[in-house]
Amino acid sequence: MPKIIYQLNDGSTRTLEAKVGESVMQVAMSNSVPGIIGRCGGFCNCGTCHVYVGNEWVKQLPDPSFDEDALLDEVAAERLLHSRLGCQIKMTDALDGITVVVPEQQEF
């Protein structure tokens, strides 16, 4: 099972196993990872599962869709080059070990 490494605001790290096809948001929600809220359940609607993907992993992800791109402009924390919505990152074996940094804020 591919692993996801979440880097949290308090400096700690959670390493969690994902099923292929599960999203970075779903795995976080199922394991109570703090800082990823995922209000809408993973449908690219709320912008509360924003993560910063580790640089070396960005190029392995498909480009954001129109809706993800628009929502990333409006997330609570600053949008950076490697910002993505966790609900849109579906795990594959190739993403085993992906690192995501959880931003300080998801909503107001």
Binding-site ranges for another protein (CB under 8 A): 29, 32, 38-41, 43, 45-48, 67, 70-71, 73-76, 106-108
We find the least distance from the C-beta atom of residue 71 to another protein, in angstroms, to be 7
We find the least distance from the C-beta atom of residue 56 to another protein, in angstroms, to be 28
Q: Which residue matches tokens 């993907």?
A: 53
Question: Of 24 and 95, which CB lies nearer to another protein in the complex structure?
Answer: 24
d(CA 38, CA 102): 12
d(CA 52, CA 58): 9
Please give the C-alpha separations between residue 29 and each of 14, 64, 86, 103, in angstroms, as whole numbers.
Answer: 13, 21, 10, 15
Question: Of 59 and 66, which CB lies nearer to another protein in the complex structure?
Answer: 66
We find the least distance from the C-beta atom of residue 65 to another protein, in angstroms, to be 11
* Spatial contact of 75 and 45, defined as CB atoms under 8 Å apart: no
We find the least distance from the C-beta atom of residue 53 to another protein, in angstroms, to be 19
Question: Of 73 and 93, which CB lies nearer to another protein in the complex structure?
Answer: 73
DSSP class of residue 86? G
